[in-house]
């Protein structure tokens, strides 16, 4: 694995198009797209974007996985603009908030996803919209182009919205420098070979998309799936001889449980990377006993442009054979990042003592878009305050104890409890509420609303209320009524008690 020495995102695709023009950059629905072909498209799109607006403008994209999304990942920063990937699972009101906050002036997207936005009364005026169909081809064909501006490594490249403890999402500003630092960190724990075929089923609008950039940085081919389907994944592994993958533990379980599964389907797969939730011991034992696949878990977040700690393939084998407790760890920090755990006073915790995880690394975000106060809090003292509570053991392994940000992780999606609570409190029948994550065998966790009501209200009515304002995956799947919410010694709702009380019944 040779370090290419790129300093900006667009340099990745430019370099590979020069060094291996006929090498495969993308497999899409059985069709191979070369690095040279992808670079030609990226350059054309970048020149077209450069002719609209000004450097620093925000360009949003709202679509499911497709080659056009990958083109925009490189073309937008090459044009000196900032890409704003929008979560296609969000409700129209949530998307409009993000468009308004980012100040996007150009929006690309799937027609079916754009239609509800364009029909919404609050859709921002002044946004040029291009649908990713024939209209995109016609838009590219225009002679209205411009030379690309000079860009710097510290320029913002993406604004990725992340759920936070304040409820409404904040836009994490990632730069060329932070992305490139994150890619080089990931390469230490998950080395990439130029002959690799990497299968990617996660949405490109997540920070997980840094894995696509990582493969291209080292000249590998990305096998892009529109979305995850267990049967399609197994067939793709057989047909293309996939060598590496990113999957959530839930997805791995679906593969092993699929009626078409045969161990030979994964014979070519060297490593599966996962994150967002822990690997169940039973699932690990199944995978290692039925296949030769290695597993690698990472700890990261949007604000880190990727990951800073990894539980390696060797760690997983040790966990399977001798030390199952290791599966509760997210691994050890990489040498490219400094991590420490601090108490409420800001003092470094002793080994085994839990505190907030702080990170200092080149891959940390520049801040939150148009939110100086939140940026100052998150980056106080030159450290990124993750909001996660963790501890180190004697061997330097990091264990996540709790999420200070009160986040629910369902199917790999981060869900802020407070955002749901604010929506529920708008309903006239809801006097007070607390939203917690309950164990879910399929999704890891699912949202549960514990309610104090003023008047009788059905689960169906509350579900409909939430669905009008929230994405479906954020809508509570469980509804519990109570006379009063339990409070802790600080007078705050005792969510750990609620999780213990109701989690035991799921």
- Say how far residue 51 (Cα) sits from the centre of its chain: 31
Indicate the average pLDDT of the chain.
92
Least confident of 130-144, 218-232, 319-333: 319-333
Q: Give the pLDDT score at 490.
A: 45
Task: Confirm if 82 and 54 have CB atoms less than 8 A apart.
Answer: no
- Say how far residue 84 (Cα) sits from the centre of its chain: 13
Beta pairing class for 82-85 and 197-200 = unpaired
- Distances in Å between the Cα of 242 and the Cα atoms of 194, 445, 473 are 13, 29, 30
Does pLDDT of 357 surpass 50? yes
Q: Each residue of 89-114: pLDDT tens digit? A: 888 999 999 999 999 999 999 999 99
Domain range list for the chain: 8-151, 407-503
Q: Give the pLDDT score at 475.
A: 95
Q: How far apart are CA 156 and CA 51, in angstroms?
A: 19
Q: Each residue of 270-293: pLDDT tens digit? A: 999 987 666 777 788 888 888 999
**Mean pLDDT of the 455-481 span:** 95
Task: Confirm if 277 and 303 have CB atoms less than 8 A apart.
Answer: no
Nearest by Cα to 87 from 119, 61, 68, 59: 61
Instruction: Confirm or reject CATH 3.40.1190.10 for domain 8-151, answering yes or no.
Output: no
Helix axes 67-78, 9-19, angle to 10 degrees: 110
Q: Give the pLDDT score at 218.
A: 97
**Rounded to 5 degrees, what are φ and ψ at 51?**
-85, -5
Q: Do the domains 8-151 and 407-503 sit in the same CATH topology, yes or no? A: no
Q: Each residue of 248-276: pLDDT tens digit? A: 887 888 899 899 999 999 999 999 998 76
What is the four-CA torsion angle of 356, 357, 362, 365, rounded to 10 degrees? -50
Does pLDDT of 345 surpass 60? yes
CATH number, domain 407-503: 3.30.300.30
Q: Considering the chain, what percentage of its residues have pLDDT values greater than 90?
A: 75
């Amino acid at each position: 694995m040779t370090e290419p020495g790129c300093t900006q995102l667009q340099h990745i695709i430019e370099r590979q198009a020069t060094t291996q023009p006929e090498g495969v950059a993308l497999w899409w629905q059985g069709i191979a797209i070369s690095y040279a072909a992808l670079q030609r498209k990226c350059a054309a799109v970048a020149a077209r974007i450069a002719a609209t607006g000004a450097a620093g403008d925000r360009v949003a994209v709202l679509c499911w996985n497709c080659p056009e999304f990958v083109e925009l990942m490189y073309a937008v920063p090459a044009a000196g603009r900032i890409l704003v990937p929008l979560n296609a699972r969000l409700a129209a009101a949530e998307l409009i908030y993000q468009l308004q906050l980012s100040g996007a002036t150009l929006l690309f997207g799937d027609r079916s996803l754009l239609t509800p936005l364009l029909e919404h009364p609050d859709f921002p005026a002044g946004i040029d919209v291009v649908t990713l169909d024939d209209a995109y081809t016609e838009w590219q064909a225009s002679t209205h182009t411009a030379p690309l501006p000079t860009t710097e490594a510290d320029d913002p490249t993406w604004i990725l919205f992340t759920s936070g403890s304040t409820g409404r999402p904040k836009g994490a500003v990632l730069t060329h420098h932070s992305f490139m630092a994150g890619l080089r960190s990931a390469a230490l724990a998950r080395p990439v070979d130029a002959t690799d075929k990497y299968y990617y089923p996660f949405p490109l609008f997540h920070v997980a998309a840094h894995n696509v950039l990582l493969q291209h940085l080292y000249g590998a081919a990305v096998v892009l799936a529109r979305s995850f389907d267990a049967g399609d994944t197994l067939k793709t592994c057989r047909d293309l001889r996939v060598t590496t993958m990113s999957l959530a533990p839930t997805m791995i379980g679906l593969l092993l449980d699929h009626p078409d599964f045969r161990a030979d389907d994964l014979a070519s797969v060297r490593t599966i990377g996962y994150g967002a939730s822990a690997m169940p011991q039973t699932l690990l034992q199944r995978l290692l006993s039925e296949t030769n696949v290695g597993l690698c878990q990472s700890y990261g977040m949007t604000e880190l442009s990727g990951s800073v700690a990894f539980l390696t393939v060797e760690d997983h084998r040790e966990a399977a054979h001798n030390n199952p407790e290791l599966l509760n760890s997210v691994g050890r920090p990489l040498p490219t990042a400094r991590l420490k755990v601090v108490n409420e006073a800001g003092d470094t915790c002793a080994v085994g003592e839990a505190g907030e995880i702080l990170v200092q690394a080149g891959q940390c975000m520049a801040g939150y878009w148009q939110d100086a106060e939140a940026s100052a809090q998150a980056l106080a003292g030159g450290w990124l305050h993750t909001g996660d509570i963790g501890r180190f053991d004697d061997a330097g392994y990091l264990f996540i104890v709790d999420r200070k940000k009160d986040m629910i992780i369902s199917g790999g999606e981060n869900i802020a409890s407070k955002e749901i609570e604010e929506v529920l409190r708008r309903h006239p029948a809801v006097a007070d509420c607390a939203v917690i994550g309950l164990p879910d065998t399929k999704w890891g966790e699912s949202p549960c609303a514990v309610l104090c009501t003023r008047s009788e209200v059905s689960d169906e009515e509350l579900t409909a209320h939430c669905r009008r304002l929230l994405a479906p995956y954020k809508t509570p799947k469980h509804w519990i009524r109570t006379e009063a919410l339990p409070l802790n010694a600080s007078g705050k709702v005792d969510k750990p008690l609620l999780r213990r009380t109701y989690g035991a019944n799921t």
